[in-house]
Structure 1
Amino acid sequence: MTKSSLTFVGVGPGDPSLLTLSAVEAIKNSTLVAYPVSRKEDVGIAATIASKWITAEKRRLPLLFPMVSDVPTRKLAWKQASEKLASSVAEGEEVVFLCQGDVSLFASASYVLLYIQNNYPHCPIRLIPGVTAISAAAAAGGWPLALQRDQLLVLPTPDDSKNLERIIDEAACCNRVLALMKLGSRWTWVRPLLEKKGLLKESLFAQKIGLSDQQVLKASKVSATTKPYFSLLLVRQGWPEVLP
């Protein structure tokens, strides 16, 4: 008898066609599909992306991950989700835990992974990477992320303009491309900063990548209003000397 296991599956940023073959196979082979939700009544973005492969005979396990900054609340959510997943594996279920984007990049799955590794060391675990929103945005915009000796820095958008300006200035000195995640309301002051630095035309704005209402366009064409949580910015300040 095959031993049951837990597989963390990255389902990509939104477009179901971006799921890898490994991701699809893991979902098909599962008996229980777990996925994060921010409220009990929600379906969940990750489950929606992978819905084509979540057939009727599979058990579903929505796991509550409240979108709050309160540390005790978040820790409790990780603990409860981990205990439910580990318990399901112990009961013989073949479990997949779906994660929007990649399972290792700013992912709720990472906290669950660490908790299970620390508290359930005998639980068999596998991770399947997913396409990141950064990669998908660059592809949609026909925008090379990194070339030759370019550096690539991925980070959440800072909370203040002085910090971001320092990061931008440091990046200019070493051919460092910036990928700023979780842009959201910060765009109201990030855009004026880019304009001040003369970088609007060299930056790519993207929101809701892979979804039906995605937007990918030059930052110069985007007004300085609050944007959705799932928005990001790619900033390039120069190109390598050797180009076609």
Structure 2
Amino acid sequence: MAAVRAIEQADLIVAPVACEGGISMAMRIASHWIKPDQPQLSVVFPMVEAPEPRQQAWKAAADLLASEVSTGKQVVLLCEGDASLFASGSYVLLSLQQRHPSCQLRVIPGITSFSSTAAAAVWPLALQQDQLLVAPCPDSELDFERMASHAEEQGQNLALLKLGRRWRWLRPLLEQRGLLSRSLFAEKVGWPDQCIAPAEQIAAEERPYFSLLLIRQRWPDVLP
């Protein structure tokens, strides 16, 4: 409710897009609570590997937000999921603290994609002495093998984010390690066309960037 109140009371709603003229899924999700007469603005956070374009975008967004706040406006920067976990908005907040230390900030925690997935599927992320490792999906088969072996030794359940094209080689590896039947696949969580299904049902092909996998190593000895 805190996020809804912030949106309803905002003088300006700002949302990230990947390119000029792009559609903000965060804005679409929040549209249920945005009034028709509320000013809206998009800021571009380019999805590129080069550091300079991203750094310039974060600085520009921070300067823009600080300028609007300095006029007395209440400004909301939308974020999908939680603003503190793998979020572009986190970089803007860091830039604001650095470039505009007097600008008042408030971060409203959100629901992570893997938590939302677990709730929808009634899939406990961790029980009793379980450990949970949250990480982007490794870029190579060798890196995943190392991660999976360590997780098995430690009894860690895994929440792997940003599967995308990696699913093509990850699915066969899960099957080889006997983990496929203990894995839950999800993509576009919270979107109208979200998909949450046992990983066995998802073919080994490229998936959207916003896809993830939950892997359970084992169940505790004491259960209902």
TM over 0.5: yes
Q: How does 1:213-232 map to 2 (within 5 A)?
A: 213-232=193-212
- What amino acid is aligned across from residue 77 of structure 1 in structure 2? A
Which of 112, 125, 128 does residue 92 from structure 2 map onto? 112
Q: How does 1:1-244 map to 2 (within 5 A)?
A: 21-244=1-224
Give 1:70 deviation, angstroms.
Answer: 1.2
Distance 2:67 2:84 in 1: 23
Distance 1:30 1:146 in 2: 37
Distance 1:142 1:225 in 2: 26
- What amino acid is aligned across from residue 235 of structure 1 in structure 2? I
Distance 2:65 2:150 in 1: 43
Distance 1:141 1:223 in 2: 19
Distance 1:30 1:75 in 2: 26
Look up the SS of the partner of 1:99 in the other structure: coil
TM-score normalised according to structure 2 size: 0.98
- After superposition, give the CA deviation of every residue in 1:62-85 in whole Å (9 maximum; x if it has no partner): 111111111101001101111000
Give 1:147 deviation, angstroms.
Answer: 0.4
Distance 2:60 2:36 in 1: 25
Distance 1:211 1:79 in 2: 29
Distance 1:212 1:115 in 2: 32
Give 1:136 deviation, angstroms.
Answer: 0.8
Distance 1:212 1:24 in 2: 19
2:29–2:191 CA contact under 8 A, matched in 1:
no
- Higher RCO (C-alpha 8 Å, min separation 6): 1
Distance 2:89 2:209 in 1: 18
Give 1:57 deviation, angstroms.
Answer: 2.3
Cα RMSD, aligned residues only? 0.8
Give 1:43 deviation, angstroms.
Answer: 3.0
Unaligned residue ranges in structure 1 (runs of 5+): 1-20
- What amino acid is aligned across from residue 131 of structure 1 in structure 2? I
- What amino acid is aligned across from residue 168 of structure 2 in structure 1? T
